[in-house]
Amino acid sequence: MTDSRTPPPSAAALHPPGHRVRLPGGGSVRIRPITPDDRTELGLAYQRLSPESRRLRFLSPPNHLTEDMLRRLTCVDGVNHAALVAIAEDEPGQPGVGVARYVRLGEGSDTAEVAVTVLDDHENRGIGTLLLEMLLEKALRNGVRHIRGYVAAENRILDLARAFDASITPDSPGVVLVDVTLPGAPHEIRSAVRAAALTPGAAARTPTSVGVSATSPRSTRRRRCRTMPMCRRPPRRCR
């Protein structure tokens, strides 16, 4: 007999990284951890993002990702810096169509910045929601308890942040500071993300290209680079 008090399985349990996932509107993707072999694909995907998607993701986006940036973004330790990619296996060439990552703000910190990016021509298919759900569960399992950072005021991630009762305060023109305390169990993350995605108008708010920067845009470029994942030193095995 099944215990009615048993929480529903987590997204990670239902869709383990590397497994194929059917999308609500048709088609499928495979979610897996990012690897250094994704470097070239990630660089090409960045060039396919619209200027608006780049701005929402990075606030001050670079024109392109350098080889050093790509190395730092794809060679991660899976604990302090983790990333998941969505691969469209039913399309020619099986391209990567989305990526989600968190970066801990310091060694041993329980706070991280989070970002989700989905290619413009794959928006509103549920890919961003799936990536965010699985990423937050992974972060929680690795000891992350808070998400904190600066977000463009019109960024869609704010609707999901509100589903977690986030603190949202104005910082500078067009930018807000977001502080989220994650639920204590993975199934609660799954419930909150899916509840937000199912509310009226959710299709217009599904995470597509969203980013949380750990420092205010009013900070200097040098200070901001301390926490941006593309500026972080990769694990020793990748240097």
Count: domains in the chain? 1
Burial track 199-232 (b if 16+ CB lie within 10 A, e otherwise): eeebeebbbbbbbbbbbebeeeeeebeebbbbeb
Whether 190 maps to a domain, the answer reads: yes
Q: What is the pLDDT of residue 237?
A: 56
Whether 159 maps to a domain, the answer reads: yes
How far is the C-alpha of 102 from the C-alpha of 129, rounded, in Å? Answer: 15
Whether 214 maps to a domain, the answer reads: yes
pLDDT, one tens digit per residue, over 127-185 is 988 898 999 999 999 999 999 888 888 887 787 788 788 899 998 888 899 999 998 88
Whether 38 maps to a domain, the answer reads: yes
**Taking phi first (over 0 means left), then psi (-120 to 50 degrees means alpha), and beta for anything else, what does residue 64 get?**
beta
Whether 104 maps to a domain, the answer reads: yes
Is the full-model pTM beyond 0.85?
no
The structure tokens listed for 29 are: 């993707």
E-strand ranges in the chain read 19-22, 28-33, 81-87, 96-104, 111-118, 146-152, 167-172, 175-181, 209-211
How far is the C-alpha of 24 from the C-alpha of 7, rounded, in Å? Answer: 23
Q: Which of 146, 209, 152 is nearest to 179 (CA)?
A: 146
Q: What is the pLDDT of residue 65?
A: 92
Q: What is the pLDDT of residue 124?
A: 82
Q: What is the pLDDT of residue 196?
A: 72
Which residues of the chain register pLDDT less than 70? 1-17, 197-239
Whether 92 maps to a domain, the answer reads: yes
How far is the C-alpha of 37 from the C-alpha of 76, rounded, in Å? Answer: 12
Q: What is the DSSP string of 138-188?
A: HHHHTT--EEEEEEETT-THHHHHHHTT-EEEEEETTEEEEEEEPPSSHHH
Query: In terms of residue numbers, what domain contains 123?
Result: 11-232
Whether 238 maps to a domain, the answer reads: no
CATH code: domain of residue 48: 3.40.630.30
Q: What is the pLDDT of residue 6?
A: 53
Whether 4 maps to a domain, the answer reads: no
